[in-house]
Amino acid sequence: MASCLFLKPIKGAGNDLPDVGDHVPDIDTIEHYALETVDLTPYRALCLPAHLDQRFFGTLTAKIERFLDGGGTLVFNGHVAWPMLPEFHTFQPLDRFNLDALQIYRLKEHPVFEGVATEELTYRRGVAGFYARGCNPPPEGAILLHGVGPDRLPCDWVYERPGGGRIFMHAGNDLWMYVGSQDTTARIAPQLCAWAAGSGEFQ
């Protein structure tokens, strides 16, 4: 069995995303609403898409907290509209979207982004704004990884929960959209899965 479980986007969304399994071997995928019945105990990480039915996910809070309490890693992509866990807060957008506001800044080195150039996060195919346009405010004690704009709003953070487990937050499009890219962003998805699974140097 794989270490990481990927939840597919809600039906009709995310059809333009590449197949992560073609680039990252140690994963399983399930249909969106199968999360209600799947057994999470064999997995070390649960990876959520940006196109998530957040109200549905909110009905599973107790299940997700048990997974985290057992030492699991939750990877969240997207904008929090419906705070589903105590550590989640509603998305805070940038107050403007000019080029200066969309710049991505590294706040702390992390294995997920090892060797990834921030310029290639800021620009995708020459256009800025794909990576992040605001933040999901972090809980106290979170480690801030990337900030967006002059105020460095924390668009990426990691939180080690006192009760066990950890949350990796990315307030933007699915990080696995970069698999197969021709620049340094191609490193993100494999490194994310290795870190989330707690393998080797990526623990």
Number of structural domains the chain divides into: 1
Phi then psi dihedrals of residue 132, to 5 deg: -160, 145
Tokens for 158?
A: 């990691």
Please state, in angstroms and rounded to a whole number, the distance separating the CA atoms of residues 138 and 157: 7
Supply the range of the domain harboring residue 80.
Answer: 4-202
pLDDT digits (tens, 9 = 90+) for 72-127: 999 999 999 999 999 999 999 999 999 999 999 999 999 999 999 999 999 988 88
pLDDT tens digits for range 144-191:
999 999 999 999 999 999 999 999 999 999 999 999 899 999 999 999
pTM over 0.95, yes/no: no
Q: What is the CATH number of the domain that holds 148?
A: 3.40.50
Using a 10 angstrom Cβ sphere, with 0-12 exposed, 13-18 middle and 19 or more buried, the burial of residue 19 is exposed
Taking Cα atoms as reference points, which of 132, 135, 139, 133 lies closest to residue 92? 135
Instruction: Supply the DSSP symbol for 138.
Output: P
User: Other CB atoms closer than 10 Å to residue 38's CB: what's the count?
Assistant: 16
Q: Where are the beta strands (DSSP E) in 141-196?
A: 143-148, 153-160, 166-170
The rounded distance, in Å, linking the Cα atoms of 131 and 134 is 10
